[in-house]
């Protein structure tokens, strides 16, 4: 068959099915609104005003007005086209030519755009999904421009160029509430979440001190949005503890483009400049992880890119990941500009080379504060144990220990096996009556317990840094019976060691304590961390 005889087949997509289907691309409201604002910034706007109205009859209307370059009628038709013409500037925040339409119709059935450039008059066009479903044609409507719409736009443009996006017939934003009060509160939460989302996503554009991004003022219901810095760089105790700049190959010609990564360790609550600053930092499991910036706009945050699960022990760690448009294909930036995919090489570099040290540092800082809280709460926890054991010690002790050299801890141990020399830690009581059970900051080799002498009294030292103490003792610190029971068990093990100590068994006893302590650490590792209740809840969620 000759090429001239081949039938040309052109399949026009069904308008109604396409539009209805694209409503389900998975947009969240905040992400959708950010897509609209992206277009404003791409149009060189310096002011963007978002207005979300809840009418007395519970109808929601959304307006986004900007003072960007605006569009004439041809520009409007291109903007409303599904798959609009590619932008001249590849670094533009607008990327695929779909965001305006898909983001809007994910929540509304009627999308209108009013615009004017520096020479044209006002023009307005509309996609009305209900009308499209009736006629099943790609018919772009040209509705009447209302005075109210011009007022909203000119409040931003002062009669110059700009664009107004309008969402009407909003049917997927809020559920129906039977009580007006409940609906009003839900609406207020919706606005608050959007304000924070903008403050986070456009932080670099809102921050006048950040010079690598064009400055823009964004308002939501007349409130100027202030930038939110996830890395708390203005805090003296916030530290960048690791950084790297990596070139990624773009083609087989050796063309490369870089991405930059920085690990930031945030302060503990007591090291923030103020309680307000700590609250603003929003330290929680939900906010830990990578913060990914494309062209200075945050596109993804709040997880570890499938490298690690969220962990309260590293809730003080946030990682800044920045790249430009040249790496869009390398990172598979999606249509919503809300996620990236890492190739194997970059994943391995981050997982095996870059992240281990920052994760250890974050965990150490967390556990340091946790230990301080546990120590604070357990000051009196062992008092009952000391009274109980001290009152009965003489009747159960089967060894006699004398100090030979106080500076080295050398002692003489006399028991049923004979008399032997060894070494014990010699402690002085920190509290009145603390002669049998002594919580200590740490024990060598991570051991949970060891025999000791406190002013000549047989005692057991318990390692507060061991996971068994933090995950078993700490949650039960107010249960006196349980604490006395556990303390008595460890004291009995220490006393049994002294009572049967000899030159052949001393190393075996030490190895036994090491092995038991290791086993216990693994057994309790997955138990929940205690709420030490010392005013330092690092997992507090702030909204």
Whether 49 and 106 share a structural domain: yes
Averaged pLDDT for residues 313-337:
86
Q: How confident is residue 338, by pLDDT bands cut at 50, 70 and 90? A: low
Averaged pLDDT for residues 243-270:
92
Percent residues over pLDDT 90 in the chain: 67
CATH code for the domain in which residue 31 is found: 3.30.565.10
User: Which element (helix H / strand E) includes 180?
Assistant: helix 180-201
What pLDDT is stored for residue 542 in this prediction? 32
For residue 201, being part of any structural domain is answered with yes
Averaged pLDDT for residues 137-141:
93
Q: What's the CA gap between 494 and 454, in Å, rounded? A: 13
Averaged pLDDT for residues 171-187:
83
For residue 538, being part of any structural domain is answered with no
Averaged pLDDT for residues 151-168:
96
Averaged pLDDT for residues 308-318:
90
- Please tell me the least confidently modeled range out of 172-176, 194-198, 446-450: 172-176
Which residue range is the domain that position 327 belongs to? 239-373
Domain boundary among 373, 390, 405: 373
What pLDDT is stored for residue 363 in this prediction? 86
Whether 35 and 128 share a structural domain: yes
CATH code for the domain in which residue 358 is found: 3.30.230
Q: What's the CA gap between 54 and 61, in Å, rounded? A: 7
Averaged pLDDT for residues 248-276:
92
Whether 261 and 183 share a structural domain: no
Backbone phi, then psi, for 271, in 5-degree steps?
-100, 0
List the strands of the sheet with 217-220, edge to edge: 123-128, 108-116, 162-170, 60-66, 47-54, 217-220, 223-224
Q: What's the CA gap between 226 and 223, in Å, rounded? A: 9
Whether 416 and 312 share a structural domain: no
Whether 323 and 402 share a structural domain: no
For residue 1, being part of any structural domain is answered with no
Q: What's the CA gap between 474 and 344, in Å, rounded? A: 42
For residue 542, being part of any structural domain is answered with no
For residue 210, being part of any structural domain is answered with yes
Whether 117 and 147 share a structural domain: yes
What pLDDT is stored for residue 532 in this prediction? 53
What pLDDT is stored for residue 88 in this prediction? 55
Whether 495 and 520 share a structural domain: yes
Averaged pLDDT for residues 392-419:
93
Instruction: Please check the confidence at residue 151 and state whether its pLDDT lies above 60.
Output: yes
Instruction: Please check the confidence at residue 87 and state whether its pLDDT lies above 70.
Output: no
Whether 131 and 210 share a structural domain: yes
- Please tell me the least confidently modeled range out of 123-137, 197-211, 282-296, 467-481: 467-481
Backbone phi, then psi, for 341, in 5-degree steps?
-120, 135
Domain boundary among 224, 259, 285: 224
Whether 171 and 256 share a structural domain: no
- Dump the DSSP string for 22-47: GGGS---HHHHHHHHHHHHHHTT-SE
Whether 275 and 150 share a structural domain: no
Q: How confident is residue 38, by pLDDT bands cut at 50, 70 and 90? A: very high
Whether 304 and 400 share a structural domain: no
Instruction: Please check the confidence at residue 95 and state whether its pLDDT lies above 90.
Output: no
Instruction: Please check the confidence at residue 536 and state whether its pLDDT lies above 50.
Output: no
Averaged pLDDT for residues 343-370:
89
Q: Is 450 helix (H, G, I), strand (E, B) or coil?
A: strand
Domain boundary among 330, 353, 373: 373
Instruction: Please check the confidence at residue 298 and state whether its pLDDT lies above 50.
Output: yes
pLDDT in tens, 104-135: 999 999 999 999 999 989 999 999 999 999 99
Whether 176 and 260 share a structural domain: no
pLDDT in tens, 430-466: 888 999 999 998 899 899 999 999 999 999 999 988 9
For residue 535, being part of any structural domain is answered with no
For residue 398, being part of any structural domain is answered with yes
- Please tell me the least confidently modeled range out of 70-84, 277-291, 350-364: 70-84
What pLDDT is stored for residue 378 in this prediction? 78
Mean pLDDT of the chain: 89
Q: How many domains does the chain have?
A: 3
Query: Would you say 165 and 1 are in contact if contact means Cβ atoms under 8 Å apart?
Result: no
For residue 231, being part of any structural domain is answered with no
Percent residues over pLDDT 70 in the chain: 92
């Amino acid at each position: 068959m000759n090429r001239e005889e081949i039938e040309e087949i052109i399949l026009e997509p069904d308008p109604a099915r396409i539009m209805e289907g694209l409503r389900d691309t998975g947009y969240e409201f905040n992400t959708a609104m950010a897509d609209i604002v992206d277009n404003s910034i791409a149009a060189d706007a310096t002011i963007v005003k978002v207005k979300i109205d809840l009418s007395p009859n519970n109808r929601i209307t959304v307006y986004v007005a900007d003072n960007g370059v605006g569009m004439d009628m041809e520009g409007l038709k291109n903007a409303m086209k599904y798959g609009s013409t590619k932008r001249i500037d590849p670094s533009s925040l607008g990327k695929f030519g779909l965001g305006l339409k898909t983001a809007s119709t994910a929540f509304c059935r009627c999308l209108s755009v009013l615009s004017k450039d520096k020479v044209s008059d006002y023009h307005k066009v509309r996609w009305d999904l209900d009308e499209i479903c009736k006629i099943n044609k790609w018919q772009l409507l040209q509705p009447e421009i209302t005075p109210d719409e011009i007022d909203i736009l000119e409040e931003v443009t002062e009669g110059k160029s700009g664009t107004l996006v309008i969402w009407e017939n909003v049917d997927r934003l809020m559920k129906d509430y039977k009580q007006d009060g409940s609906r009003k509160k839900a609406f207020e939460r919706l606005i608050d979440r959007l304000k924070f989302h903008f403050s986070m996503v456009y932080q670099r554009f809102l921050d006048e001190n950040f010079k690598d991004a064009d400055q823009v003022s964004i308002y939501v219901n007349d409130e100027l949005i202030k930038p939110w810095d996830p890395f708390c760089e203005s805090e003296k105790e916030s530290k960048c503890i690791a950084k790297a700049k990596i070139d990624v190959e773009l083609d087989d010609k050796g063309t490369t483009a870089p991405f930059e990564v920085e690990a930031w360790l945030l302060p503990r609550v007591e090291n923030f400049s103020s309680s307000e600053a700590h609250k603003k930092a929003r330290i929680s499991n939900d906010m830990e992880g990578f913060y990914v910036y494309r062209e200075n706009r945050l596109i993804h945050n709040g997880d570890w890119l499938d490298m690690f699960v969220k962990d309260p022990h590293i809730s003080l760690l946030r990682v800044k990941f920045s790249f430009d448009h040249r790496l869009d294909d390398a990172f598979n930036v999606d249509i919503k500009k809300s996620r990236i995919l890492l190739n194997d090489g970059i994943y391995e570099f981050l997982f095996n080379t870059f992240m281990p040290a920052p994760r250890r540092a974050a965990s150490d800082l967390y556990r340091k504060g946790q230990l301080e809280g546990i120590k604070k709460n357990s000051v009196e926890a062992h008092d009952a144990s000391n009274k109980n054991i001290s009152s009965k010690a003489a009747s159960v002790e089967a060894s006699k220990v004398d100090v030979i050299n106080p500076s080295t801890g050398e002692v003489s141990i006399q028991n049923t096996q004979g008399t032997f020399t060894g070494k014990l830690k010699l402690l002085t009581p920190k509290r009145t009556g603390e002669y049998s059970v002594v919580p200590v900051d740490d024990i060598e080799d991570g051991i949970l317990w060891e025999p000791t002498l406190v002013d000549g009294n047989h005692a057991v030292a318990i390692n507060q840094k061991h996971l068994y103490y933090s995950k078993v003792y700490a949650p039960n610190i107010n249960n006196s019976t349980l604490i006395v029971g556990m303390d008595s068990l460890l004291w009995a093990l220490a006393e049994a060691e002294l009572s049967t100590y000899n030159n052949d068994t001393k190393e075996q006893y030490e190895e036994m304590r090491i092995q038991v302590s290791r086993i216990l650490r693994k057994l309790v590792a997955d138990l929940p961390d205690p709420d030490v209740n010392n005013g330092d809840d690092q997992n507090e969620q702030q909204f």
